Protein backbone atom coordinates (compact mmCIF):
# COMPACT_ATOMS: atom_id res chain seq x y z
CA UNK A 1 0.00 0.00 0.00
CA UNK A 2 1.49 3.37 -0.97
CA UNK A 3 1.80 6.14 1.62
CA UNK A 4 -1.23 8.37 1.91
CA UNK A 5 -1.04 12.02 0.94
CA UNK A 6 -1.09 12.95 4.63
CA UNK A 7 1.98 10.80 5.25
CA UNK A 8 3.68 12.47 2.30
CA UNK A 9 2.87 15.87 3.73
CA UNK A 10 4.42 14.89 7.09
CA UNK A 11 7.61 14.07 5.17
CA UNK A 12 7.55 17.43 3.42
CA UNK A 13 6.23 15.82 0.25
CA UNK A 14 3.08 17.74 -0.57
CA UNK A 15 1.64 16.22 -3.73
CA UNK A 16 -0.58 18.27 -5.98
CA UNK A 17 -4.03 16.76 -5.93
CA UNK A 18 -5.86 19.53 -7.72
CA UNK A 19 -5.90 20.27 -11.42
CA UNK A 20 -3.29 22.62 -12.76
CA UNK A 21 -1.55 23.44 -16.03
CA UNK A 22 1.92 21.98 -16.07
CA UNK A 23 4.49 22.41 -18.83
CA UNK A 24 3.27 19.39 -20.80
CA UNK A 25 -0.28 20.77 -20.83
CA UNK A 26 1.00 23.94 -22.50
CA UNK A 27 3.10 22.00 -25.02
CA UNK A 28 -0.02 20.02 -25.93
CA UNK A 29 -1.49 23.14 -27.57
CA UNK A 30 1.21 23.11 -30.26
CA UNK A 31 -0.69 20.55 -32.43
CA UNK A 32 -3.92 22.50 -31.86
CA UNK A 33 -2.32 25.70 -33.14
CA UNK A 34 -0.80 23.83 -36.09
CA UNK A 35 -4.10 22.25 -37.20
CA UNK A 36 -6.17 25.44 -36.76
CA UNK A 37 -5.61 26.85 -40.31
CA UNK A 38 -6.51 23.48 -41.85
CA UNK A 39 -9.58 23.32 -39.61
CA UNK A 40 -10.69 26.81 -40.69
CA UNK A 41 -10.36 25.76 -44.35
CA UNK A 42 -12.34 22.57 -43.71
CA UNK A 43 -15.14 24.46 -41.94
CA UNK A 44 -15.18 26.99 -44.77
CA UNK A 45 -15.76 24.21 -47.30
CA UNK A 46 -18.68 22.90 -45.22
CA UNK A 47 -19.95 26.48 -44.76
CA UNK A 48 -20.23 27.26 -48.50
CA UNK A 49 -23.41 25.22 -49.14
CA UNK A 50 -24.83 26.36 -45.79
CA UNK A 51 -24.44 30.05 -46.61
CA UNK A 52 -25.98 29.56 -50.04
CA UNK A 53 -29.11 28.26 -48.31
CA UNK A 54 -29.23 30.27 -45.08
CA UNK A 55 -26.92 33.26 -45.60
CA UNK A 56 -25.20 32.63 -42.25
CA UNK A 57 -21.77 34.26 -41.95
CA UNK A 58 -18.61 32.20 -41.55
CA UNK A 59 -17.57 33.46 -38.11
CA UNK A 60 -20.85 32.25 -36.62
CA UNK A 61 -20.27 28.76 -37.98
CA UNK A 62 -16.71 28.74 -36.63
CA UNK A 63 -17.85 29.98 -33.22
CA UNK A 64 -20.76 27.54 -33.18
CA UNK A 65 -18.50 24.61 -33.89
CA UNK A 66 -16.07 25.61 -31.12
CA UNK A 67 -18.94 26.13 -28.69
CA UNK A 68 -20.41 22.73 -29.53
CA UNK A 69 -17.06 21.20 -28.59
CA UNK A 70 -17.55 22.29 -24.98
CA UNK A 71 -19.96 19.38 -24.46
CA UNK A 72 -16.95 17.05 -24.74
CA UNK A 73 -15.90 18.21 -21.28
CA UNK A 74 -19.23 17.52 -19.58
CA UNK A 75 -18.95 14.33 -17.45
CA UNK A 76 -22.45 13.13 -18.34
CA UNK A 77 -21.70 13.49 -22.06
CA UNK A 78 -18.41 11.65 -21.66
CA UNK A 79 -20.14 8.87 -19.79
CA UNK A 80 -22.91 8.37 -22.35
CA UNK A 81 -21.49 9.52 -25.70
CA UNK A 82 -17.74 10.14 -25.79
CA UNK A 83 -17.00 6.71 -24.32
CA UNK A 84 -18.92 5.10 -27.18
CA UNK A 85 -17.33 7.37 -29.81
CA UNK A 86 -13.91 6.20 -28.62
CA UNK A 87 -14.93 2.55 -28.97
CA UNK A 88 -15.06 1.95 -25.23
CA UNK A 89 -17.71 0.28 -23.12
CA UNK A 90 -18.68 -0.11 -19.50
CA UNK A 91 -16.60 -2.63 -17.54
CA UNK A 92 -18.11 -6.10 -17.65
CA UNK A 93 -19.35 -7.84 -14.51
CA UNK A 94 -16.01 -9.64 -14.38
CA UNK A 95 -13.89 -6.51 -14.88
CA UNK A 96 -15.89 -4.08 -12.74
CA UNK A 97 -14.95 -5.33 -9.23
CA UNK A 98 -11.21 -5.31 -10.00
CA UNK A 99 -11.31 -1.90 -11.68
CA UNK A 100 -13.55 -0.39 -9.02
CA UNK A 101 -11.35 -1.62 -6.18
CA UNK A 102 -8.21 -0.11 -7.76
CA UNK A 103 -9.97 3.11 -8.74
CA UNK A 104 -11.44 3.53 -5.25
CA UNK A 105 -8.04 3.06 -3.64
CA UNK A 106 -6.34 5.70 -5.77
CA UNK A 107 -9.10 8.29 -5.54
CA UNK A 108 -9.49 7.79 -1.78
CA UNK A 109 -5.72 8.02 -1.22
CA UNK A 110 -5.68 11.36 -3.08
CA UNK A 111 -9.05 12.60 -1.79
CA UNK A 112 -10.45 12.91 -5.31
CA UNK A 113 -14.16 12.76 -6.05
CA UNK A 114 -14.80 9.51 -7.92
CA UNK A 115 -17.99 10.77 -9.52
CA UNK A 116 -15.95 13.37 -11.42
CA UNK A 117 -14.31 10.62 -13.47
CA UNK A 118 -15.58 7.97 -15.87
CA UNK A 119 -13.80 4.63 -16.33
CA UNK A 120 -14.30 2.65 -19.54
CA UNK A 121 -12.80 -0.42 -21.17
CA UNK A 122 -11.78 -0.88 -24.81
CA UNK A 123 -11.38 -4.40 -26.18
CA UNK A 124 -7.74 -4.70 -27.17
CA UNK A 125 -5.01 -7.32 -26.92
CA UNK A 126 -2.37 -4.71 -25.99
CA UNK A 127 -1.53 -3.58 -22.48
CA UNK A 128 -2.48 0.10 -22.57
CA UNK A 129 -4.57 2.88 -21.05
CA UNK A 130 -5.31 6.50 -21.88
CA UNK A 131 -7.11 9.59 -20.62
CA UNK A 132 -9.41 11.83 -22.64
CA UNK A 133 -11.74 14.76 -22.19
CA UNK A 134 -11.54 16.14 -18.68
CA UNK A 135 -12.82 13.10 -16.84
CA UNK A 136 -12.49 9.95 -18.96
CA UNK A 137 -10.08 7.11 -18.11
CA UNK A 138 -9.95 4.10 -20.44
CA UNK A 139 -8.00 0.87 -20.03
CA UNK A 140 -7.75 -2.08 -22.39
CA UNK A 141 -9.43 -5.37 -21.61
CA UNK A 142 -5.99 -6.99 -21.73
CA UNK A 143 -4.81 -4.64 -18.97
CA UNK A 144 -7.71 -5.59 -16.72
CA UNK A 145 -6.87 -9.26 -17.21
CA UNK A 146 -3.07 -9.16 -16.93
CA UNK A 147 -2.38 -6.52 -14.29
CA UNK A 148 -2.64 -7.34 -10.60
CA UNK A 149 -4.28 -4.93 -8.15
CA UNK A 150 -1.18 -2.85 -7.37
CA UNK A 151 -0.16 -2.59 -11.04
CA UNK A 152 -3.66 -1.54 -12.02
CA UNK A 153 -3.56 1.13 -9.31
CA UNK A 154 -0.32 2.44 -10.82
CA UNK A 155 -1.83 2.62 -14.30
CA UNK A 156 -5.02 4.32 -13.13
CA UNK A 157 -2.96 6.75 -11.06
CA UNK A 158 -0.95 7.65 -14.16
CA UNK A 159 -4.08 8.36 -16.22
CA UNK A 160 -5.61 10.40 -13.41
CA UNK A 161 -2.38 12.43 -13.30
CA UNK A 162 -2.92 13.33 -16.95
CA UNK A 163 -6.22 14.87 -15.85
CA UNK A 164 -4.67 16.55 -12.81
CA UNK A 165 -2.03 18.07 -15.08
CA UNK A 166 -4.70 19.17 -17.61
CA UNK A 167 -2.91 17.24 -20.37
CA UNK A 168 -6.17 16.07 -21.93
CA UNK A 169 -7.70 19.50 -22.53
CA UNK A 170 -5.63 20.33 -25.61
CA UNK A 171 -5.86 16.71 -26.78
CA UNK A 172 -9.66 16.80 -26.72
CA UNK A 173 -9.78 20.19 -28.46
CA UNK A 174 -7.42 18.85 -31.13
CA UNK A 175 -9.56 15.77 -31.67
CA UNK A 176 -12.62 17.99 -32.11
CA UNK A 177 -10.84 20.25 -34.62
CA UNK A 178 -9.56 17.32 -36.68
CA UNK A 179 -13.04 15.81 -37.12
CA UNK A 180 -14.05 17.95 -40.17
CA UNK A 181 -10.49 17.57 -41.53
CA UNK A 182 -10.77 13.79 -41.33
CA UNK A 183 -14.26 13.84 -42.88
CA UNK A 184 -13.05 15.85 -45.89
CA UNK A 185 -10.10 13.50 -46.32
CA UNK A 186 -12.50 10.54 -46.46
CA UNK A 187 -14.88 12.40 -48.81
CA UNK A 188 -12.01 13.26 -51.14
CA UNK A 189 -10.79 9.65 -51.16
CA UNK A 190 -14.32 8.40 -51.87
CA UNK A 191 -14.88 10.85 -54.74
CA UNK A 192 -11.47 9.97 -56.17
CA UNK A 193 -12.46 6.31 -56.31
CA UNK A 194 -15.86 7.16 -57.79
CA UNK A 195 -14.24 9.34 -60.46
CA UNK A 196 -11.79 6.60 -61.42
CA UNK A 197 -14.54 3.99 -61.61
CA UNK A 198 -16.82 6.28 -63.67
CA UNK A 199 -14.01 7.13 -66.06
CA UNK A 200 -13.15 3.46 -66.53
CA UNK A 201 -16.81 2.52 -67.10
CA UNK A 202 -18.22 5.36 -69.18
CA UNK A 203 -15.29 7.09 -70.87
CA UNK A 204 -13.56 4.23 -72.64
CA UNK A 205 -14.54 5.32 -76.14
CA UNK A 206 -13.84 9.02 -75.78
CA UNK A 207 -10.34 10.41 -75.32
CA UNK A 208 -11.62 13.79 -74.16
CA UNK A 209 -14.07 12.24 -71.67
CA UNK A 210 -11.35 9.96 -70.33
CA UNK A 211 -9.01 12.93 -69.91
CA UNK A 212 -11.74 14.90 -68.14
CA UNK A 213 -12.44 11.98 -65.80
CA UNK A 214 -8.77 11.51 -65.00
CA UNK A 215 -8.42 15.23 -64.28
CA UNK A 216 -11.40 15.18 -61.91
CA UNK A 217 -9.99 12.08 -60.18
CA UNK A 218 -6.63 13.82 -59.82
CA UNK A 219 -8.26 16.87 -58.27
CA UNK A 220 -10.12 14.77 -55.72
CA UNK A 221 -6.94 12.85 -54.97
CA UNK A 222 -5.05 16.10 -54.30
CA UNK A 223 -7.99 17.30 -52.17
CA UNK A 224 -7.87 14.10 -50.12
CA UNK A 225 -4.08 14.19 -49.85
CA UNK A 226 -4.08 17.77 -48.52
CA UNK A 227 -6.44 17.01 -45.65
CA UNK A 228 -4.75 13.67 -44.99
CA UNK A 229 -1.46 15.56 -44.63
CA UNK A 230 -3.07 17.95 -42.13
CA UNK A 231 -4.51 15.06 -40.15
CA UNK A 232 -1.16 13.22 -40.18
CA UNK A 233 0.67 16.37 -39.08
CA UNK A 234 -1.70 16.69 -36.13
CA UNK A 235 -1.09 13.09 -35.09
CA UNK A 236 2.69 13.41 -35.47
CA UNK A 237 2.88 16.56 -33.38
CA UNK A 238 0.46 15.08 -30.85
CA UNK A 239 2.65 12.02 -30.45
CA UNK A 240 5.75 14.19 -30.09
CA UNK A 241 4.39 16.42 -27.33
CA UNK A 242 2.58 13.44 -25.80
CA UNK A 243 5.91 11.95 -24.73
CA UNK A 244 6.55 14.98 -22.54
CA UNK A 245 3.11 14.54 -20.97
CA UNK A 246 3.93 10.90 -20.16
CA UNK A 247 7.08 11.88 -18.27
CA UNK A 248 5.24 14.65 -16.42
CA UNK A 249 2.45 12.27 -15.39
CA UNK A 250 4.97 9.63 -14.30
CA UNK A 251 6.72 12.10 -11.99
CA UNK A 252 3.41 13.22 -10.54
CA UNK A 253 2.56 9.55 -9.85
CA UNK A 254 5.88 9.17 -8.00
CA UNK A 255 5.05 12.20 -5.84
CA UNK A 256 1.61 10.73 -5.16
CA UNK A 257 3.13 7.48 -3.89
CA UNK A 258 2.33 5.05 -6.72
CA UNK A 259 5.65 5.07 -8.55
CA UNK A 260 6.60 1.47 -7.75
CA UNK A 261 3.19 0.20 -8.82
CA UNK A 262 3.40 2.05 -12.13
CA UNK A 263 6.96 0.82 -12.72
CA UNK A 264 5.83 -2.77 -12.16
CA UNK A 265 3.02 -2.34 -14.69
CA UNK A 266 5.34 -0.80 -17.27
CA UNK A 267 7.72 -3.75 -16.99
CA UNK A 268 4.96 -5.87 -18.52
CA UNK A 269 4.94 -3.66 -21.61
CA UNK A 270 8.66 -3.97 -22.33
CA UNK A 271 9.31 -5.78 -25.60
CA UNK A 272 6.58 -6.72 -28.08
CA UNK A 273 3.85 -5.17 -25.94
CA UNK A 274 5.53 -1.78 -25.55
CA UNK A 275 3.33 1.31 -25.58
CA UNK A 276 2.21 3.13 -28.73
CA UNK A 277 4.08 5.82 -30.64
CA UNK A 278 2.61 8.51 -28.39
CA UNK A 279 4.46 7.03 -25.41
CA UNK A 280 8.20 7.04 -24.71
CA UNK A 281 9.86 3.60 -24.56
CA UNK A 282 8.79 1.73 -21.43
CA UNK A 283 12.42 1.11 -20.46
CA UNK A 284 13.09 4.85 -20.42
CA UNK A 285 10.04 5.55 -18.30
CA UNK A 286 10.92 2.76 -15.87
CA UNK A 287 14.48 4.05 -15.52
CA UNK A 288 13.27 7.58 -14.78
CA UNK A 289 10.65 6.42 -12.29
CA UNK A 290 13.05 4.16 -10.40
CA UNK A 291 15.70 6.90 -10.36
CA UNK A 292 13.15 9.25 -8.78
CA UNK A 293 12.29 6.60 -6.19
CA UNK A 294 15.89 6.28 -4.94
CA UNK A 295 16.55 7.95 -1.58
CA UNK A 296 17.75 11.52 -2.00
CA UNK A 297 16.40 11.93 -5.53
CA UNK A 298 12.90 13.09 -4.63
CA UNK A 299 12.31 16.82 -5.09
CA UNK A 300 9.58 18.91 -3.52
CA UNK A 301 6.99 19.61 -6.26
CA UNK A 302 6.68 23.31 -5.48
CA UNK A 303 10.20 24.33 -4.46
CA UNK A 304 12.28 21.85 -6.45
CA UNK A 305 14.43 21.24 -3.34
CA UNK A 306 15.45 17.75 -2.21
16-20, 107-111, 147-151: least confident range: 16-20
Query: Sheet holding 136-140: strands in order across?
Result: 118-122, 136-140, 129-132
Contact of 253 with 3, CB cutoff 8 Å? no
Structural element, H or E, at residue 44:
helix 29-54
**Going by C-beta distance under 8 Å and a sequence separation of 6 or more, which residues neighbour residue 75?**
115, 116, 117, 118, 134, 135
- As a whole number of angstroms, the distance between CA 304 and CA 298 comes to 9
Mean pLDDT of the chain: 84
Domain around 211: 5-293
Is 33 domain-assigned? yes
Question: β-strands 129-132, 118-122: how paired?
Answer: unpaired
User: For the chain, what percentages of helix, strand and coil (3-state, to nearest 5) are there?
Assistant: 70, 5, 25
pLDDT band (50, 70, 90) for residue 301: very low
Query: What pLDDT, on the 0 to 100 scale, is given for residue 17?
Result: 54
Query: What pLDDT, on the 0 to 100 scale, is given for residue 278?
Result: 60
Query: What pLDDT, on the 0 to 100 scale, is given for residue 63?
Result: 95
Is 302 domain-assigned? no
Residue 218 has pLDDT above 90, yes or no: yes
Query: What pLDDT, on the 0 to 100 scale, is given for residue 83?
Result: 75
Residue 8 has pLDDT above 80, yes or no: no
Contact of 155 with 147, CB cutoff 8 Å? yes
Is 303 domain-assigned? no
Query: What pLDDT, on the 0 to 100 scale, is given for residue 18?
Result: 64
Alpha carbon of 125 to those of 67, 89, 102, 174, 250: distances in Å?
Answer: 36, 15, 21, 27, 23
Is 298 domain-assigned? no
R_g (Cα) of the chain, nearest Å: 23
Secondary structure of residue 269 in the 3-state scheme: coil
Is 177 domain-assigned? yes
pLDDT band (50, 70, 90) for residue 76: confident
45-54, 88-97, 201-210, 236-245: least confident range: 201-210
Is 300 domain-assigned? no
| Residue bearing the bigger pLDDT, 249 or 201 | 249
Is 233 domain-assigned? yes
Q: How many domains does the chain have?
A: 1
Is 266 domain-assigned? yes
Rounded average pLDDT over 108-132: 84
Amino acid sequence: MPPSWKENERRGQSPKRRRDFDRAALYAFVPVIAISPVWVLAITIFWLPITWITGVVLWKVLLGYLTAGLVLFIPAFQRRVLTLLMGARKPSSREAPKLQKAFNEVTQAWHLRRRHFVVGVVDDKDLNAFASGGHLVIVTSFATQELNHDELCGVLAHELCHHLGSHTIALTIGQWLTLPVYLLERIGAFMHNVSKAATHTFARSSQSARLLGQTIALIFNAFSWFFRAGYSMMRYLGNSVGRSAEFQADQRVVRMGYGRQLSAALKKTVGPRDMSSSHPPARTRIARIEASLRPGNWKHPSTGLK
